Amino acid sequence: MSSVKTEKKTPLIRMIKRDEITQKKTWMIRAVAILGALITGGILILCLGKNPLQAYSDMLRGAFGSKVLIQETVKQAIPLLITAIGISFAFKMKFWNIGAEGQVLVGAIGAGYWAFFYAATLPKIPLIILMIVTAMLFGGLYGLLPALCKAKWGTNETLFTLMLNYIALYIIKYLANGPWKAAGSSFPKMPMIHKGVRLSKVFGVHWGWIIALVLVVFASIYFNRTKQGYEIAVVGESNNTARYAGINVGKVFRRTMFLSGALAGIAGMLQVAGCDYTITERTAGGVGFTAITVAWLAHMNPYGMLGVAAFIAVLERGCNQIETTMAIPASVSDLLIGIILFFMLGCEFFINYRLVTRGGKEEQNA
Amino acid sequence: MLSIILKLIVAAVLAGTPLLFGALGEILTEKSGNTNLGVEGMMYMGAVSGIAGAFFYGKAAGGAPVGVVAVLIALVVSFLIGALGALIYAFLTITLRANQNVTGLTLTIFGTGFGNFFGDFIAKNAGGSLVVTDGVKAMFKGIAIPGLSKIPVLGTLLFNYNWMVYFAVIVAVVMAWFFKRSRVGLNLRAVGEDPATADAAGINVTRYKYVATVVGGGICGIGGMYISMVSQNGVWVFDCVSGYGWLAVALVIFATWDCNRAILVALVFGALKIMRLYVALPIPSQFYDMAPYIVTIIVLVITSMRESREHAQPKSCGTNYFREER
Amino acid sequence: MEQYAIEMKGITKTFGKVIANHDVNLQLRKGEILALLGENGSGKTTLMNMLSGIYFPDHGSIKVNGTEVSIQSPKDAFDHGIGMIHQHFKLVDVLTAAENIVLGLKGGITIDRKSTNKKVKELGDKYGFDVDPAKKIYNMAVSEKQTVEILKVLYRGAEILILDEPTAVLTPQEVDKLFAVLRNMKEDGKSIIIITHKLHEVLSISDRVAILRKGEYIGTIETATANQSTLTEMMVGHAISLEIKHPEVEQGPEMLRVHDLTCLNSEKVKALDGVNFSAFGGEVLGIAGIAGSGQKELCEAIAGLYPITGGTVLFRQKKDGVEVMENIGGQDAQNIHKKGVSYVPMAFVPEDRLGMGLVASMDMVDNVMLRSYKDNKGFFVDRKPPKELSEKLIKDLEIVTPGVSTPVRRLSGGNVQKVLLGREISFGPDVLVVSYPVRGLDINSSYKIYDLLNEQKKKGVAVIFVGEDLDVLLEISDRILVMCGGKVSGIVNAKETTKEELGLYMIKVGGGKEEIA
C-alpha cells in the first residue's frame, strides 16, 4: 500500500466524511444493503442445491400466508421489540448491556413464581399485576447489579452482563430440576401455568403487543422530552460533561439500567404468560442478543425499532417455514439474520462517508 | 486422594484447552486494538468446519482415511473458517468502521447459526449424524509419550494428553515471546495502544489490525475444532460450543492480556467446568455449572477495583482508527 | 535554478466543505530554518501533515530535493528523510523512550534493547539532549517527551525536520535550550521548518518566514528584513494592534479564598499540595505553569468536580444580608457534586470544550440548558428559556451558526467557545474560571474573548485565567499565580514581572505559601 513509486500519483480510492446526506439517499443505501444481503443469502441457498426464489417466497408465506401465521409473526416480534427498547435505554448512555437475555429470563422467573404458586388463590387481575411488577423488579435488579459496580469501580459492564446471562440460565435449569419441577414428569421441566393466568387475546394475539406499542411511545417521549432522558443523552456523550453539569453519573447508570432490565423483564413475563405458558431454557431464545442489533440498527429510535423488530420477526417465522417445506434447518435464520446485520452495519459507512476515486470523481453509491 | 486430584487436573487441562485457544485468539485480536466479541461465533465456525473437513475427506478417501491427513485438514480448515469469520469482522470494523461491540455480537449470532446450520445440514444429508471415522477419532485421543509417560505422577500429569493440548501451550509460549521480544510484536502493541502514534512511526496500522484480527480468529476457530473433535469425540452435537467462547473472552481479562498467564487461568477455568464430577459438595449440580461465570464476575470486579496501567486492555480497544479524522 | 530541500506547489486540501489549504506554495532551502507563520486555523498544521504523510493533498505537487514524490503514509515521509514532531506528542505511554524511538523501524526479528538504549543515549549526547532510554513515557515530564520525539526523528536519519508549535509547552528557559539545539542541527546541515504563531520566536530563530492566512499562501520573506508589524499585517491581512486591552478597575472584595487545598489524583499522588490564594472582584488573576502542574485539578476542585483531600474553598455569599465567606468546596466533595456547579456563584469554562463544557452532538439549545435544565419543576424539560437565551447569545456575541438547532460540533472553534463562554457569563457569576480560553482560536475570536473577559472584570467579577502563552498572561492579568508540581510557587504583580521571572517560578520546585501581596 505504501510503496514509494512516483508514478503512483494518488491512492486508488479515498474516503471522505460526508457533511450531510439526504434522507432519500440514506434509505436508498439501506435498501441496496438489504438487497445485497438477500442476494448473498440466496447464493447460499443455491449452493445448498435449493431454489432461493422458492425459499424466499415460502418465507413470506410463512410469515404472512394466513391470519394465524400473521398472528404468529406479531407474537414473535413482541419480545424482540420490548427487549430492544429496554436495551436502547442502556445503549443511549453507552452502557453496553448485553445481558438482556438474562434479564428476560429472571423476569420470567419472577412472573412464574406467581403463576405457578398463586394461580388458584388469587384473582386474575391482581395476579397479572403482581406478575408484571415482580418481573420488572427481578429484571431491573438484575440490570442494576452491573450498573452498581460500573458506577463504583468502573467494572467492565460488557462481560459482567454477559456472564449474568449464563447464571440466569443455570438458575432456570436448577428450578426445572428441583423446586419447580412439574409433578409426575420424568424430565426436568416446569409445569404449564394455569389457564386462568394466561393472557387473553386481542385480535388473536395476547395483549402484549399493546404494551409493546405503548412502550414505543413512552420511550420516545422519555428520550426526547424528559429531564431523565436528557441526562441519559449527556452521560452517553461524555461522563465528564455530565459531571460538569452536576449530573450524578452513577445515579443515572443505576436508574437507567434498572429501567433497561425492567423492560426486558416485562418481555420475559409476556413470554411466560402469553406465549410459552411455561419456563424453559429457551424462554429467551436469543432474543436478548438479536434485540441488541435491532436497537443498534434503529439508532435507538423507538419507532425505528418497531420496524426492524417486525422485519426480524418475519425472517425468523419464514425460516421456520422453510425448515418444514424445504428441509432447510431452522438455524438458517441466525445465519440469514447475521448476513443481513453485516450488510446493514456495513452500509452505515456509506451513509457517513463518500468515496473518491483516483480521477477525483466521486463515486455515486446508490 | 492423590489419584482423584490427578484425575481432576487432567480433566481440567482437557476442558481448559479450548478456552486457551479462544483466549489466545482474542488476546492477539485485542493487542491490535480490536475487541472482537465474536469469539463464540468463530469457535462455532471452526467447530463445524473442522469436523466437516475431516468427514468429507474421510468420504473422499473411501472410508479409509489417513489419520494424519485428516488431522491436518481439520486443523487447516478450522483455522481458515475461523479466520474467515474474523475477516468479516475486520472488514466491517477496520475498513467500514462499524461499531466493534455490535459487529462482534453479530458475528456471534452469525457464527452460531453457521455452526448449527451446517452441522445439522450435513448430518441430515449424511443420514442423521455427522461423525468422523474411528481412525480419525483415535488421532485426537491422548498420546502416551514413550518413556516420559511412565514417570509416576508426572507422567499422568504432563505426558498423556492429545496433541492439541501441547499445541495450545506452544502457541501461548510463542505468542508471549512474540509480544515481549519481537520487533513486529512491539509494533503490534503500539498499534493497539495508540494507532495514531504507530501510524506516524511508519507502521501500516490497517495491515497490522487485519492480520492480527484474522489470525486471532483462526486460533479461535482451532479452539472450536477442539470442542467438536476432542470434547465431543468427533461427533457433531447441536449447540456444542455453548458459552465457551464467552468464557474465553472473560479469560483474557483474568490473564491480563498475558499469554503465559492465560495457560494458568485456562487450567483454573477448566477445573471449574468439570469440578462437579470430582468434588462432591451438597449443592445442586447447576451451581457447579454456574461457578466459572460467578468467578469471572468476582474477578472482573476485583480487577476493576485496582487499576493497573500496564496490565490492562490495550488503550485503543473499542475505537476504530481513521487517519484523516478531524 | 536553486534546488530546494522541499518544494510544494499548488497544494489544496479540503475536509468536507472546509478548505484547509488552497493553492499553497512553499519552498524550504537546504540548511535553513524556515518559520511557518499563521494564526490558528490558517492551515499550517494541515500543510505540514501532507509532508509527513498524515494527509494526502487533493491537488498539487511535492518535490523533495528536486524529485517529485508521492507521500502516502508517514513511512513514505521517513523514506524521503522527512520527520515531523507533532504538537500532540505521538508516543506510546506504556513503552520506554527507546522502544518508542525504534517503533516501526526495519531490523532483526527481535529487538536488542541493550544496544538500542546505547545508541539512543549516544544520539542524545551528540545534540545535547539529556534522556533516559529505559524510562517509560508515562513517567516523563512534557519537555522529556518532546526530547524523545525529536530523537525519534533524528534516529530515523531525517534531514528535514518539521516542528509543530514546539514551544507551547515549554518554559522560556527550555525554549532557549531548544532553540540552541535547533541551531546545532542547522550547523549539522539539517533543514528545519518550525510552525508557530508567535512573532518574537520567528524573529529570533528563523532565516526566512513563510506566511499562511486562512488556508492561502501569502508569501515568504527574509527574516532579516521583517519586523513585528510587517509580519502581523501579512498574517492577519490588515494592520492591527496586537495589544490586549487592560482596563484599570478598582479592586473589589475578596470573592474566592482557597485555603491549604490538597487533592490526590487517581494514583494517590498529590495533584494539588497546600494551595493558598484569593481572587478579588474586578481583577484578572492569571495562572501560569508548565502543562500538568495542577492547573486542571485546581480549576476542577474550585468547581467541585475534583475530590478534595484537605483544605477549603470559600466563596463570598450573602447570608441574611451579611456578606460572609462560605465553604462550598471544602472537605465534602460529595456534597458539592450533589449541589452541582450551577448552585455556586461561579462559572467555569473548562479546557476541554467539547468533552466537558459542551455536548458535541447536541444543538445549541440543549447545550445552553446543560447547567440549568433542572431549574423548572416537574419531570419534563422546558426548552423555551434556553432557546431564547441561545438566540440572544447568537445576536450579542456574533456567533456564526446556521441556527439554534445545529449540533455545536459543526461550529468553528471560535464559535464553540463563544457558546460556552456566553452560557457561563449568562448566569451572572461572581467568580469566572476560564481554562485556556483562546487555545486554537483565530486572532479575531481571541480578541473577542479577551474583550468579554475584560467586560466581566469591569462588572466586578473575579476572573481566573489559566493560560499557556506568557505574553498574553502578562498583558491581560493584574496578578499572576505560578504553579509548579501542584504547588503555588509564586504570586506576582503582572506589571512588575518578566517572562524570565515567571519561567523561573515555573520550574521552582517546592514553592510554597507566598503571602498575597
Which CATH number belongs to the domain containing residue B174 in this structure?
1.10.3470
Closest chain C residue to B183 measured between Cα atoms?
Answer: C110
Chains contacting chain A through 3 or more C-beta pairs under 8 A: B, C
Q: Nearest CA to CA, how far is A267 from chain C (Å)?
A: 26
Q: Is B322 within the bounds of a domain?
A: no
pLDDT digits (tens, 9 = 90+) for A300-331: 999 999 999 999 999 999 988 988 888 888 88
Instruction: Classify residue B160: in a domain, yes or no.
Output: yes
Per-residue pLDDT at A305: 96
Choose among A177, A293, A335: nearest Cβ to B102.
A293
Q: What is the pLDDT of residues B251-273, one digit of tens each?
A: 998 888 999 999 999 999 999 88
**Rounded average pLDDT over B25-30:** 97
Q: Is B96 in contact with A349 (Cβ distance < 8 A)?
A: yes
Q: Cβ of C337 under 8 Å from any chain A Cβ?
A: yes
ipTM of the complex: 0.91
Q: Identify the DSSP state of C393.
A: H
pLDDT band at A167 (very low <50, low <70, confident <90, very high): very high
Annotate chain A with three-state secondary structure.
Answer: CCCCCCCCCCCCEEEEECCCCCHHHHHHHHHHHHHHHHHHHHHHHHHCCCCHHHHHHHHHHHHHCCHHHHHHHHHHHHHHHHHHHHHHHHHHCCCCCCCHHHHHHHHHHHHHHHHHHCCCCCCHHHHHHHHHHHHHHHHHHHHHHHHHHHHHHCCCHHHHHHHHHHHHHHHHHHHHHCCCCCCCCCCCCCCCCCHHHCCCEECCEECHHHHHHHHHHHHHHHHHHEHHHHHHHHHHHCHHHHHHCCCCHHHHHHHHHHHHHHHHHHHHHHHHHHHHCCCCCCCCCCHHHHHHHHHHHCCCCHHHHHHHHHHHHHHHHHHHHHHHHHCCCCCHHHHHHHHHHHHHHHHHHHHHEEEEECCCCECCCC
Whether residue B183 and residue C107 make contact (CB cut-off 8 A), yes or no, is yes
* B101-115 pLDDT tens trace: 999 999 999 999 999
Choose the closest CB to A329 out of B110, B120, B249.
Answer: B120
The 8-class DSSP code of residue B66 comes to -
Span B86-94, average pLDDT: 97
- B184 to chain C: nearest residue by CA? C109
CB C72 to CB A228 under 8 A? no
- Residue B238 inside a domain? The answer is yes
For C6-236, CATH number out of 3.40.50.720, 3.80.30.20, 3.30.70.360, 3.40.50.300 equals 3.40.50.300
Amino acid at C390: S
Domain span at residue B166? 2-305
Domains in chain B, number:
1
B300: contact with A, CB 8 A cutoff: yes
* pLDDT score recorded for residue C337: 40
The predicted-structure confidence for C222-259, as pLDDT tens digits, reads as follows 999 998 888 988 988 877 777 888 999 999 899 999 99
Q: Answer whether residue A284 shows pLDDT above 70.
A: yes
Among chain A, residues having any CB pair with chain C shorter than 8 Å are 1-2, 4-6, 8-11, 14, 16-19, 225-228, 230, 233-234, 237-238, 240-241, 243-248, 360
The three-state secondary structure class of B118 is helix
Query: Mutate which of A15, A241, A248, A300 to disrupt the C interface (most C C-beta within 10 Å)?
Result: A241
Average pLDDT across chain C, whole number: 88
Minimal C-alpha gap between C266 and chain A (Å):
12
For chain C, which residues make up each domain, given as ranges?
A: 6-236, 243-345+432-517, 351-428
Give residues 122 to 161 of A whose Cβ lies within 8 Å of B.
149, 153-156, 158-160
Q: Does B174 contact C at CB distance below 8 Å?
A: no
Residue B203 to chain C, least CA–CA distance (Å):
5
Q: Which residue has the cell 448512555?
A: A93
Name the DSSP class of C192. E
Determine the distance from the C-alpha atom of residue B272 to the mean position of all C-alpha atoms in its chain, rounded to a whole number.
17
The predicted pLDDT at position A293 comes to 86
How far off is chain C from A52, nearest CA to CA, in Å? 42
Whether B321 maps to a domain, the answer reads no
Chain C interface mutation, best of B183, B306, B309, B310, highest count of C Cβ atoms under 10 Å: B183
| Count of all residues that appear for chain C in the document | 517
Least-confidence region, from A255-264, B264-273, C145-154, C262-271: C262-271
* Residue C324: predicted pLDDT: 62
Handedness of CA A254, A260, A266, A269 (dihedral sign): negative
Asked if C6-236 and C243-345+432-517 have one fold, the answer is: yes
In a domain, B158, yes or no: yes
Question: Which chains are adjacent to chain B, needing at least 3 Cβ pairs under 8 Å?
Answer: A, C
Task: Say yes or no for a CB contact (<8 Å) between C79 and A228.
Answer: no
Does B230 reside within a domain? Answer: yes
Q: How confident is the model at residue C514 (pLDDT cuts 50, 70, 90)?
A: very low
Class of domain C243-345+432-517: alpha beta
Alpha-helical segments (H) within C264-399: 295-302, 333-339, 364-368, 384-396
What is the pTM (predicted TM-score) of this model? 0.89
B259 belongs to a structural domain: yes
**Residue B312 covered by a domain:** no
